[in-house]
Structure 1
């Protein structure tokens, strides 16, 4: 996977990426919350299974998105 350097992007591209990441993170947080709630429900109804680990594994994606968002914000602030 090709990693983009935020310093190589224009300010407009950074702002566009920032808005996109904010939207994606908001939707992803809602989906993860629903998965955790359903996961707890399923654990009480049917017991633990290997599928119950999926929401925990997806937290890493959220962490990466938040890290990228922080880097974009830092790059935008350095350009002011």
Structure 2
């Protein structure tokens, strides 16, 4: 079962923040590239079902960003 942030030690929070930050930024860059590529391909080949993939992945990016904010808030409250 997943621990809540207030039950984790500061070291665990820092470790989770570091790994989640790296994954989220890489995912954001890939998502941005997918948006640009899909816009280009929509003009060249027209719309296809694959054009909705970046939109479908966007909620995952938003959830990761919200989790990062929660971790930062918890770390700030411990100082």
Q: TM-score band (shorter)?
A: over 0.9
Q: How many residues align?
A: 79
Q: What is the match of residue 51 of structure 1?
A: 50
| 1:22 CA drift (Å) | 1.0
TM-score by length of 1: 0.92
Distance 2:44 2:28 in 1: 24
Unaligned runs of 5+ in 2: none
Aligned ranges for residues 1-80 of structure 1 at < 5 Å? 2-80=1-79
TM-score by length of 2: 0.93
Question: CA-to-partner distance for each residue in 1:27-71, whole Å, 9 max, x for gaps?
Answer: 011101110111011101111111101101111001000010000
Unaligned runs of 5+ in 1: none
Q: Tell me how large the CA RMSD over aligned residues is.
A: 1.0
| 1:72 CA drift (Å) | 0.3
SS at match of 1:4: coil
